[in-house]
Structures are given as C-alpha cells and as structure tokens.
Amino acid sequence: MEGHRMKAAVAVLLLAVGLAGGAALPAAAQSSVRVGGPVDQHIDRDAPPVANQIPGQSRADSWHGIRLGEQGTVSIPNKQAGVLIQSEGEAWRAVRNGPLSQYGSWMLGGILALLALFFLLRGRIRIDGEKTGRTIQRFNAFERGVHWMTAGSFVVLAISGLNVLYGRHTLLPLLGPQPFATLTQYGKLAHNYLGFAFILGVALTFVLWVGHNIPSRHDLVWFLKAGGLFSKGVHPPAHKFNGGQKIIFWSTVVGGAALGFTGVQLIFPFSFATMEQMQLFQLAHAAIAVVMIAIILAHIYIGSIGMEGAFAAMGDGQVELQWAREHHSLWVEDVTGEKVRHGHHGTPAE
C-alpha cells in the first residue's frame, strides 16, 4: 500500500542522513495511517453514498479507497483536488514533528555542548612559535568574496529554516503571534531568494578549491594526530587545506548540492515532483540542513575564537607566516620555497 511504502521510504531516508538512528514511526503515527482503522470501522453503512461512489460499491469500500488516496473526478484545473485524503501526509507530519525534530535538536545541542567543553579544556589554540611580523597571502579578494557570500547566505538560511522547524515552540511563546508571524514571513522570503545565492556560492567554492581538496596521504597523518588539536606544539604537515578542512569542503559541496536540489523542488511545488515526492524532499532538506548546521558550527568555532590567527585568512586574506608554517607547512614550502621543519613548531629547517 502507498502509505506503507511512504513510511518505509521515510525510514530509509532518515537512516541515510544519520539522524533517526533506526527509530520507527511513533505508534500513534502508525495507527493514524493504517487503512482499515477506526475511520473505516465506524462507517454508517446506511448513509447516502459518497461523492464519485462507483455504482454497486459499498460506502465502506468507497471510504477504503479514499483512505488509500484514490483520485476522484473534479471539474477544476487542479486535478489533485480530487484526492480527498492524502494519508502519506500524516506519516510526513509524524516524522517531521517526531524523530526529525527530536534528533535534530539533540544533534545541535550536542555539538554546542562539545564545542563549549573543548574550549574549556583546551582553550584557544595559540601560535606556538615566535611570530615573525610577516604575512603571507592565503586567499585573494575574489576567493574571500565567494566564501562570505556562501557563508552569509547559509547563516540566514539556517536561522530561517530552524525557525520553520522549531520556531512555533520556541519563538512564538516569547514574541507573540503577530511579531512571530512577521518574522516568519520575511524569513521565508529571505530563505527562498538567498537559496539561489547559496547554490551559486557552493558551485564557485567547488570550482575554486576542488584541486586543493583531493585526499592525500598527509591527511591520514593529520587524522592520526587529530590535527594537533589536543596536543600543544604538535602540528601535522598539510598543504593548503588539511584533512579537517577537506571534510568541511566536501560536506559543503555535497550537502549544499543536496540542499539546492531539494530546495528547488520545494520552491516550485509540483513543477518537478509529486506530492509524495515533495514530502520526502522536505524531510531530506530539513535533515541534511541540520547535519550541515552542526558541521558549520564547528567550522565557525575553529575559524574564530578556537584558533589564533585563523580568522585573518578570510578577513584580509593575510596570515602570520609562523601560523602558516605551523598549520600548513607544505603549503608554505610550495608558495615560498623555504623548507619547514614539520611536526612541532613549524620552524624553518636549518
């Protein structure tokens, strides 16, 4: 049955993005979409026939078909209006307001707690060696512009999207109906239009830096040493992007492409997908967005208060030479030609 296939597809989708963790639909949600349930069992068999009832067909059989999503005949252009009950919508609502919202809140709350704990235990990652007072260009103006266009649009999309998912239960009681409605209305407009800026930013990000983000053997060393994040004075060698930054890059490209694809389906309803497909696209869009927000929160942390000297890379594009030696020693060798002692303080080789 369509309702059962919908629930199976939803479960596979949530498992794929790692949010549901194998959780099944709540029992209440399952019973609400079961054909032959209370709606079918309490039908007055002596009542007049329902609209479009086939001659000779019982009222119970007609309602059974309606619960299955059978389409009747309508005279208006929108033929989908002939579907009186779209049972898959009940399954969609149960997943969105149940596992998706619950696991999403756990993920976002968990990453914030982990970042706070890491900061308390590790503190800010400082430049270990003596600063040189010299800088090296890490990103040019165009590259920084692409980064900030992508980052800025993503922040607005994330805030407005989280409002759609959680705002009714968090902001509405604080702001009141009218301010919340106004905020949500403008948030929806911003979400729809800035989505195209984000798609463009992701495409340009891929073109600009894919060549620097191909996995290499140095990434394995970086991961084995946890990037030196937990050990002072330990700096694994890395080219322009280290292993952690490559994860951010591919998460942005792959996740951004998925968000762009599903988002376009929702901005232009019924242009490319059926109702059932749009429900799956909406769940996928929200689930992928929550995962990406968690990843980008970690990226924002390490690029701001988490590491001394990191923000300058996307600020004015110039980074302290000693910072570059410590965190991207192989890149410094490629750009300047100097030999850097790898592994610890990133000092020039004798």
pLDDT tens-digit readout, 290-310: 999 999 999 999 999 999 999
DSSP 8-class letter at 318: E
Cβ neighbours for 100, distance < 8 A, ≥ 6 positions apart: 14, 19, 20, 165, 283, 286, 287, 290
What integer pLDDT is reported at residue 320 of this predicted model?
A: 96
| CATH number belonging to the domain at 132-336, selected among 2.40.110.10, 3.20.20.150, 3.40.50.2000, 1.20.950.20 | 1.20.950.20
Query: Do residues 23 and 37 make contact, with C-beta atoms less than 8 angstroms apart?
Result: no
Q: So what's the pLDDT on residue 77?
A: 78
Domain-wise residue ranges, the chain? 1-41+57-73+81-123, 132-336
Look over the chain and give the mean of its residue pLDDT values, rounded to a whole number.
84
pLDDT per residue as tens digits for the range 187-201: 999 999 999 999 999
Write the pLDDT tens digit of every residue in 133-178. 999 999 999 999 999 999 999 999 999 999 999 999 999 999 999 9
Please state, in angstroms and as integers, the Cα–Cα distance from residue 288 to each residue in 130, 195, 207, following that order: 42, 15, 22
- Please give the structure tokens belonging to residue 46: 């002596």
pTM of the model: 0.78
Q: Cα separation of 304 and 71, whole Å?
A: 55
Residue 288 CA to residue 284 CA, distance in Å, equals 6
The pLDDT value recorded for residue 60 is: 73
- Region of 57 (left: φ > 0; alpha: ψ -120 to 50; beta: rest) is beta
List b or e across 97-109, with b for residues whose CB sees 16 or more CB atoms inside 10 angstroms. Answer: ebbbbebbbebbe
Check residue 76 and give its pLDDT.
82
CA dist 161 and 288 (Å) reads 12
Q: Which two tokens stand for residue 87?
A: 């049972």
